Chains A and B, each alone.
Chain A
């Protein structure tokens, strides 16, 4: 199986593009809820598969995940993770309801959360696409629940069959008034990553 490696120059090139993409993703969420959203502790890590889980929050309770695939010349898995009570608060903000109104997720609430994934994924993808002069198309988002381990395994299965390690792009999402916190995770397809970095480098 293949390994991922990033030299320091490539890491910097990718970090600049990713940071801009993450900023725009946060702006997309901010636009949806009408409140400022900031990113905390963004990082890009090359990890063995066994290390991915330990790099994420130490929480094995049920999480809500919104997942989608970015397709194009470069593909990636994108995942938003929220603790259930945070997901409920996010739904209230999206629907213009008083915080605490949503206690269970009906179809409308699940649709609203999926749309958050759609917007944030599209904003991230659009930024990278414009920087690289290419096109990425986000898939229809899927909502699922489970432990972080389960949610990740479902998304990483294809990459795990071909690579020994994974590139993890992760940031914490925090709304300024403290109402919503979550995680935005991007897992690029390693085979296409070097090509993407080469294009970004040539366009800098």
Chain B
């Protein structure tokens, strides 16, 4: 069962993603900020990551860079309300493989996860 790391400082968003992904048959682990995300990537070795951009302590773009340092092949999709072109470009340049804008359509998130796992 593929394991997905969901990273978002909003408990509400983690709950939505967890519910959606578990219903789709995935294992889910969670982190509430970028620092936790990096630690959990090391300890949980998820198959894919859904990573919010705007978070306290360490934002998603910084966490993405740290995760890519750990694993250059990391499969990460950014999950964010900030769909600004500059942010998208920066995330893709840093190694993100997809970008899902909130509020997300459930099918879009599942498609993003499926694409990451291919």
Contact = CB atoms under 8 A, between A and B. Distances in A.
A112 B12 CA distance: 5
Given A28-B103, A31-B103, A118-B54, A138 B12 contact: no
B42 interface: no
Q: Which of B9, B15, B82 has the most CB of A within 10 A?
A: B82
Interface residues of A, number: 26
B117 interface: no
Contacts of A123: 81
Contacts, number: 62
A22 B38 CA distance: 35
B89 to A, nearest CB: 10
Interface string A108-133: 10011011001101110110011000
A158 interface: no
Contact of A111 (B11, B56, B80, B103): B11
B52 to A, nearest CB: 9
Interface residues of B, number: 19
B62 to A, nearest CB: 13
A183 B83 CA distance: 23
Given A138-B54, A140-B55, A140-B56, A28 B11 contact: no
B85 to A, nearest CB: 7
Contacts of A74: none
Contacts of A121: 81
B19 to A, nearest CB: 10
Interface in B34-87: 54-56, 80-87
A194 interface: no
A13 to B, nearest CB: 20
Interface string B81-116: 111111100000000000000110000000000000
Contacts of B29: none
B79 to A, nearest CB: 12
B86 A135 contact: yes
A138 B11 contact: no
B59 to A, nearest CB: 9
Interface of A: 28, 31-32, 94, 107-108, 111-112, 114-115, 118-119, 121-123, 125-126, 129-130, 134-140
26 contacts: A28-B81, A28-B102, A108-B11, A111-B11, A111-B12, A112-B12, A114-B12, A115-B10, A115-B13, A118-B54, A118-B81, A119-B103, A122-B81, A122-B83, A126-B82, A126-B83, A129-B86, A130-B84, A135-B87, A136-B84, A137-B82, A138-B54, A138-B81, A139-B54, A140-B9, A140-B55
Given A115-B10, A140-B54, 9 more contacts: A111-B11, A118-B10, A118-B81, A118-B102, A119-B103, A122-B80, A123-B81, A125-B84, A137-B87
**Across the A-B interface, the 3 shortest Cβ-Cβ residue pairs:** A122-B81, A31-B103, A111-B11
